[in-house]
Amino acid sequence: MTKAIRTPALVVRAFNVEVARIQDQTTDPQTAAFRLQFWQDALTIIYKKDQSQQNIPANPIAQELYKVCSCYSLPRRHLERLVTSRSGLIKARHFRSLEDLERYAEDAVSPIYYLLLNVAGIKDIHADHAASHLGKAQGIANILRSIYVSNHHKMMSLPMDILMKYGISQEEVLRGIDSENMRNVTFEIASQANSHLEKARKIKVPKIVNQIFLPATGVDAYLKKLQKANFNIFEKSLQKQNTTLPFSLYYRRLTNKY
C-alpha cells in the first residue's frame, strides 16, 4: 500500500477492529449494544456540520477518524454499516441462511474496501464490484475462522439452513463434534467463500487496487488450510498462526497481485 494512503487505511482498519471486537469482549448483549451505540453516536458527532476537533469524543480512534473523514470526505454510510452489521448480529445471534451470512459479510467487510478506494481517490465500478466479492469471501472466512470464539459465547455463527440440510444440531457445533456431515457443512460454506474470492480475482482493476486488496491472500491461505484439514473446522491447527503468510503477502505485493 502506498505511503500516501497507509495512515488513513490504518485508521479505517483500527475503527473496524474496535467495532468488531466488541462482540468478543462480552457475553452480555446489552453491554455490547451500549458499546456499539457509543460508536454510532461518535459518527453522528463526527459528521455534524461545521464540527470541530474539540467536540469529538476523547477516544484516540475517534479523534483520528474525524481527521481522516474530514480530509478525505469519507461516506458516512460505509462506516455506519460496519457498526449496524455487528449490532444486527448481536441481536439475532445466528444466521438463518447462507444468504444471510453473505449479506452480513458484505456489510461487515466490504465497506472497508469501499472506504480505502475512496481514500485512494479511485472511482471505478469494477473495483467496487471486486470489493463486494472480496468482502463476502473474507467475511465468510472470518466466520469459519472464529468458530471457537462463537462457541465460547454460545452464538450460532453457522447458517441454520446448511446445518439443517446435513442434519447437524446446534449442540453438535457448540460442543465441537466432528463428523462427515459437519465437514459437508463446512465445505459448502467454504466453497461459497472461495467462489466469491475467485470472482473478485477475475475482475480487472486499476493497479493500485491490488495493494488495497492484499488481504485476499490471507483469505486464500485460510481456505487452502481448511481444505488440507479435510474441512474439519474444529482442527486445532487452523487456529495456529500461518508462518508462511508474510512471505506470500510480500510476493503478492512484489508481483502486484492479490
Domain of 182, CATH number, reads: 1.10.600.10
87 and 101 housed in the same domain: no
174 and 250 housed in the same domain: yes
Average pLDDT (206-224) is 94
Domain boundary among 42, 70, 92: 92
Average pLDDT (118-128) is 95
Q: Are 190 and 226 in contact (CB under 8 A)?
A: yes
Q: Give the pLDDT score at 41.
A: 96
240 and 254 housed in the same domain: yes
> Helices 110-119 and 76-92, interaxial angle, to 10°?
170
Q: Give the pLDDT score at 149.
A: 64
The whole-angstrom separation of Cα 4 and Cα 11 is 13
141 and 243 housed in the same domain: yes
Count the neighbouring beta carbons within 10 Å of the beta carbon of residue 196.
Answer: 24
Residue 240, pLDDT above cutoff 90:
no
Count the neighbouring beta carbons within 10 Å of the beta carbon of residue 22.
Answer: 20
Q: Give the pLDDT score at 47.
A: 94
Count the neighbouring beta carbons within 10 Å of the beta carbon of residue 143.
Answer: 21
Instruction: Choose among 149, 154, 158: nearest CA to 190.
Output: 158
235 and 213 housed in the same domain: yes
The whole-angstrom separation of Cα 42 and Cα 63 is 10
What does the pLDDT look like over 137-193, one tens digit per residue?
A: 999 999 999 887 655 556 678 999 999 999 999 999 989 999 999 999 999 999 999
What does the pLDDT look like over 42-98, one tens digit per residue?
A: 999 999 988 888 889 999 999 999 999 999 999 999 999 999 999 988 887 789 999
The set of residues, in sequence order, having a beta carbon less than 8 Å from that of 143 and lying 6+ positions away, is: 101, 104, 105, 150, 157, 158, 189
Residue 4, pLDDT above cutoff 80:
no
Q: Read off the pLDDT band of 1 (50, 70, 90).
A: low
36 and 15 housed in the same domain: yes
The whole-angstrom separation of Cα 137 and Cα 139 is 6
> Helices 125-145 and 110-119, interaxial angle, to 10°?
140
Q: Give the pLDDT score at 91.
A: 83
- Please state the pTM of the whole predicted model: 0.91
Q: For residue 243, what are the domain limits?
A: 96-258
**Domain count along the chain:** 2
What does the pLDDT look like over 12-45, one tens digit per residue?
A: 999 999 999 998 887 788 899 999 999 999 999 9
142 and 154 housed in the same domain: yes
145 and 164 housed in the same domain: yes
82 and 133 housed in the same domain: no
Q: Give the pLDDT score at 153.
A: 55
110 and 215 housed in the same domain: yes
40 and 105 housed in the same domain: no
Could you tell me how many helices (H) and strands (E) the chain has, helices first?
15, 0
- Can you say whether the dihedral through the CA atoms of 7, 206, 132, 247 is positive or negative? negative
85 and 188 housed in the same domain: no
What does the pLDDT look like over 177-210, one tens digit per residue?
A: 999 999 999 999 999 999 999 999 999 999 989 9
